[in-house]
Amino acid sequence: MHTTLIRFIAFAAMVLFSSSVFAAGFSKRYESIASFDGTRLGALVLVPEGQGAGPFPLVVMPSSWAVPNLEYVGRASVMASAGYIVVSYSSRGFWDSAGKIDIAGAPTVEDVSAVIDWALANTPADANAIGASGISYGAGTSLLAAARDPRIKAVAALSGWADLQASLYADRTVSKQGVALLVTAGALTGRPGPELTQITSKVAVGDYDGAVAGFLPAAAERSVVNEVQAINQNGTAVLLANSFNDGLFPPNQYIDFYNRLQVPKQLFFSQGDHATAELLGALGLPNAVYTAVTRWFDRYLKGQSNGVDNESPVQLSTLNGAWLHYADWNAVQGQATRYGLNRPAGLLSPTGALSADVSTGWSHRIATGVPTLADSGIVLVSGLLQGLGQPVTTSIPLVSRVGAAVWRGPVYTSTRRLVGSPSLRLTVTPSQANVSLFAYLYSVDALGIGQLLSHAPYSLRDATPGQATTIELALQATAVDIPAGRRLMLVVDTTDPRYTDATRFGGNVTFASPSATPSVLTVPLR
């Protein structure tokens, strides 16, 4: 079966590469590259022709999770035509590459260096101009490789992770839809190693918390945020790109890593979901993200003075297609509006106010495990639709106040722009030791129809029932205009179909705003 699969991928690659549309300016071939431990990696190799004798800058491109080396064939062709040697290979354990899937373990990361060794020995690659780039799994692998191999001078990591624990277990809450998607795709397209096999067995019986909890100790060593010092010492130029609604690797974990970098760096956030913003660019079509990637490599591998150094390093796309430019993330968060949370009031549909004044001394109770109509949508689907102008919507008047607390802001008389990461401070007292909370921020029209702007999960585990806890919750970053006539509304409940939750039906959570730590929502508004 494995041999047949390798032959199929190799044949498909050769057929695709034989097309005359990719024939000008470079040669192409399929290789089975022996990695450091003898594992064979299926690779597509593109080398410039008719562009001089070289040496040429080298870009190594590990494939995404469950995707073969054909993933980057269009972009690799564009780059080879522009004078780059490109080696695009299937990641270890997937498709035509041998070995077992080790979830970005040391062998998978070392494969990048082994491919570099092979390219230096078998192509006219420039040993002083080496880059790594990938989408998703390939992005995380490229960043880890750059931390461990100082030969890598530039990285472009798209829709990837810098903190695997924060991605898989955001505030101690598992995205069961995301985990199920990754597990299923890995089983269908590759050969799971021991860790993935164990995770898969737990997912099969619905134990998502156990599946992720068992992997968390390994997640730390597969998170480049814990190796940022090495990146800084190597001086690697790092470009990060992601989508605001990425359902697998949410944007905030990239922000934390970006802020710690002390090297040439850029951060791009687009609208859409996981890997959707750069998809057309990977196929070789015009694309804002891959235009930035090409210019990044031109500057830091070819040494071109193309103005990249003088550009605003943080660039964010709004839903209407405008690109916003900032000097750093602090400038994004700089203009913030703070709303105090008032006690929800009303007999049938109790609702609190988001007020300019802080309100303290109140409490409000909701039941746990009650569906409320508020949710974050479906992984990959909802974020993609958001990028196409169709955000997740719900009727706020129909959100059950039995299972949710709701706060309403003032109607805006002019368009406001929300750019950055909102944050919520809230004091909660659970009746159970374990409870999950889900915060949603909506833009709501006069009829009460809310468009989801951002959300975040938070789970209390092994808490003391009846004891108050103040939580600080960062909602995911976004960039969106709020038209005049609309208002912000905040909803907090205890269940969301995207996530596993620690909540059990039949309990309650009491929200409060003590004078020492008032409950407030902070929103970066312009």
> pLDDT tens digit string along 447-476?
999 999 999 999 999 999 999 999 999 999
My answer on whether omega of the bond before 518 falls inside 30° of 0, hence cis, is: no
Any long-range contacts for 322-330 (C-beta under 8 Å, 24+ apart)?
A: 323/288, 324/419, 324/479, 328/259, 329/255, 329/258, 329/259, 329/267, 329/420
Give the Cα separation of 441 and 447 in Å (integer). 17
pLDDT tens string 472-502: 999 999 999 999 999 999 999 999 999 998 8
**Cβ count near 516 (within 10 Å):** 7
212 within domain boundaries: no
pLDDT of residue 24: 60
Number of structural domains the chain divides into: 2
Task: Mark which of 289, 307, 325 sits at the end of a domain.
Answer: 325
**pLDDT confidence of 414, banded at 50, 70, 90?**
very high
Residues 374 and 248 in one domain: no
Whether 189 has a pLDDT exceeding 60, the answer reads yes
Q: Are 68 and 77 in contact (CB under 8 A)?
A: no
Residues 295 and 423 in one domain: no
Q: Which domain holds residue 491?
A: 334-523
Q: Are 418 and 482 in contact (CB under 8 A)?
A: yes
pLDDT of residue 319: 83
Selection from 452, 427, 441 nearest residue 523 by Cα: 441
- The residue ranges of DSSP E strands in 99-168, in sequence order, are 125-135, 152-158
**pLDDT confidence of 382, banded at 50, 70, 90?**
confident
**Cβ count near 296 (within 10 Å):** 24
Residues 303 and 420 in one domain: no
465 within domain boundaries: yes
pLDDT tens string 69-123: 999 999 999 999 999 999 999 999 999 999 999 999 999 999 999 999 999 999 9
215 within domain boundaries: no
pLDDT tens string 218-270: 999 999 999 999 999 999 999 999 999 999 999 999 999 999 999 999 999 99
Residues 266 and 246 in one domain: yes
Q: Which amino acid is at 181?
A: L
